[in-house]
């Protein structure tokens, strides 16, 4: 038998919210001859997503032995590095968050560079950054700011935001400057591509450990008939998008010709509702929903430090990003129909969904 290693796409953090959605997309490509899909997570993958992978490893992305094993078994051509501790959880264990979020990212970038050296071609690397990379100095500045571009206000207030910014810089280094003085350096081993995601809302999964979680938590709680105490003020406003849009953005960026890209890191966003905007749409769909507001001052200060609106013109120009939904369309066409089925309930707005506002195709 030859010693040809199978070509593979590696997904870390595969059992997380984004992993669920991404594996579905990669499995569809696999079904028509795409590369093998290898998943790594610290937790066992549930059967539904395990079935979408060629191989699933339970392990720690900080475990060098595990990464060496992957290096020996596969010719990894692409990496989606989703494993991370999110913003709220990271504030309770900031040093651990740094080890996982930055140390883990460094390990994966090193694996990518070693893969490139081993098989002689650049490894495409997707890194989900976040609006947490921004740090608006105060609410006055946040309210006065127009759409924030990728070069503005990059002074994060959280360890998670610092970690995401560090990951972006490391990725840029591995792409353009890796081992700059070494005689045996290889130029451009990694093709690093990153998106600063806003809050993401999935109809299929409920997030944990994030500070933008109040949006999805509110909707899922109403469908489950559970009272919801929102941990931010009603006027709190940050960018959000749906999970299908986030997966589409990540795969579209990874498929874009390198020559089209003018930067490594891009903003994307679909809509910027306030927490009260969310509550009004949820009450419209679930008139018995019990929603009240009881701000957690710490988590509120994190949300207040994130921009209300992000400028995604670079992504639109370079690789054709455009949102799928308006806020109303996201509820009517994606969130409510799937969530109602998931919880076995009817929404008061069912049937009113036809012809919901959808962005031009």
Residues lying near ligand AKB in the complex (CB under 6 A) = 86-87, 130-132, 160, 197, 199, 210-212
Residue nearest to ligand AKB (CB): 210
CB of 207 to ligand AKB, least distance (A): 6
Q: Note if 160 is an active site residue.
A: yes
- Give CA–CA dist 319/167, Å, rounded: 22
Nearer to ligand AKB, 124 or 196 (CB): 196
Give the DSSP H or E segment for 6.
Answer: strand 6-12
**Residue 138 Ramachandran class (φ > 0 left, ψ -120 to 50 alpha, else beta):** beta
Nearer to ligand AKB, 174 or 197 (CB): 197
CA distances from 247 to 34, 180, 323 (A): 17, 34, 12
Measured between its terminal Cα atoms, the distance across the chain in Å is 49
CB of 306 to ligand AKB, least distance (A): 7
Please give the full DSSP string across 253-317, using - where no structure is assigned: HHHS-GGG-S-SEEE--SB--BHHHHHHHHHHH-TT--EEE---HHHHHHHHHS-SSB--HHHHH
Q: Phi first, then psi: what are they for 264, rounded to 5°? A: -90, -30
Which residue has 């976040």 as its token pair? 130
Nearer to ligand AKB, 37 or 131 (CB): 131
Name the 3-class secondary structure at 157: coil
- Give CA–CA dist 260/81, Å, rounded: 22
CB of 127 to ligand AKB, least distance (A): 12
Task: Give the burial class of 226: count Cβ atoms within 10 A of its Cβ; 0-12 exposed, 13-18 middle, 19 or more buried.
Answer: exposed
Contact call for residues 256 and 316 (beta carbons, < 8 A) = no
CB of 124 to ligand AKB, least distance (A): 22
Nearer to ligand AKB, 7 or 96 (CB): 96
CB of 92 to ligand AKB, least distance (A): 13
Nearer to ligand AKB, 38 or 133 (CB): 133
Nearer to ligand AKB, 35 or 210 (CB): 210
Nearer to ligand AKB, 211 or 324 (CB): 211
Of the residues 74, 80, 134, 160, which is catalytic? 160
Closest of 200, 305, 158, 316 to residue 252, by C-alpha: 316
CB of 72 to ligand AKB, least distance (A): 33
**Measured CA angle at 77 (ends 73, 79), to 5 deg:** 95
Q: Phi first, then psi: what are they for 346, rounded to 5°? A: -105, 140
Task: Count the helices and strands in the chain (H runs, E runs).
Answer: 15, 11
CB of 134 to ligand AKB, least distance (A): 10
Contact call for residues 203 and 338 (beta carbons, < 8 A) = yes
Catalytic residue annotation: 160
């Amino acid at each position: 038998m030859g010693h040809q290693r199978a070509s593979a796409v590696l997904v870390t953090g595969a059992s997380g919210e984004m992993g669920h959605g991404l594996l579905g997309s990669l499995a569809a490509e696999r079904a028509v001859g795409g590369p093998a899909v290898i998943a790594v997570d610290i937790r066992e993958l549930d059967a539904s997503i395990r079935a979408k992978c060629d191989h699933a490893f339970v392990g720690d992305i900080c475990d060098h032995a595990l990464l060496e094993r992957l290096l020996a078994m596969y010719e990894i051509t692409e990496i989606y590095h989703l494993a991370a501790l999110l913003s709220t959880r990271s504030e309770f264990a900031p040093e651990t968050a740094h080890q996982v979020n930055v140390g883990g990212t460094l390990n994966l970038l090193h694996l990518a560079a070693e893969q490139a050296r081993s098989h002689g071609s650049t490894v495409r690397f997707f890194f989900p950054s976040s609006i947490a990379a921004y740090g608006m100095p105060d609410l006055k500045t946040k309210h006065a700011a127009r759409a924030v571009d990728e070069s503005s206000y990059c002074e994060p207030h959280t360890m998670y935001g610092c970690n995401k910014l560090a990951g972006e810089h490391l990725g840029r280094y591995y792409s353009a400057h890796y081992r700059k003085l070494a005689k045996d350096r290889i130029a451009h081993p990694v093709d690093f591509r990153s998106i600063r995601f806003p809050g993401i809302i999935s109809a299929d999964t409920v997030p944990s450990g994030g500070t933008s979680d109040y949006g999805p938590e509110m909707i899922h709680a109403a469908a489950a008939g559970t009272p919801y105490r929102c941990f931010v003020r009603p006027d709190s406003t940050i960018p959000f998008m749906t999970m299908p849009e986030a997966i589409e953005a990540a795969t579209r960026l990874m498929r874009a010709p390198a020559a089209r890209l003018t930067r490594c890191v891009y903003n994307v966003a679909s809509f910027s509702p306030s927490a009260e905007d969310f509550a009004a749409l949820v009450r419209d769909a679930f008139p018995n929903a019990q929603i009240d507001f009881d701000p957690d001052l710490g988590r509120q200060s994190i949300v207040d430090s994130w921009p209300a609106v992000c400028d995604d013109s670079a992504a639109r120009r370079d690789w054709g990003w455009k949102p799928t939904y308006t806020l109303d369309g996201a509820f009517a066409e994606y969130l409510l129909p799937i969530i109602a089925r998931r919880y076995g309930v009817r929404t008061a707005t069912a049937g009113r969904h036809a012809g919901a506002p959808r962005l031009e195709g």
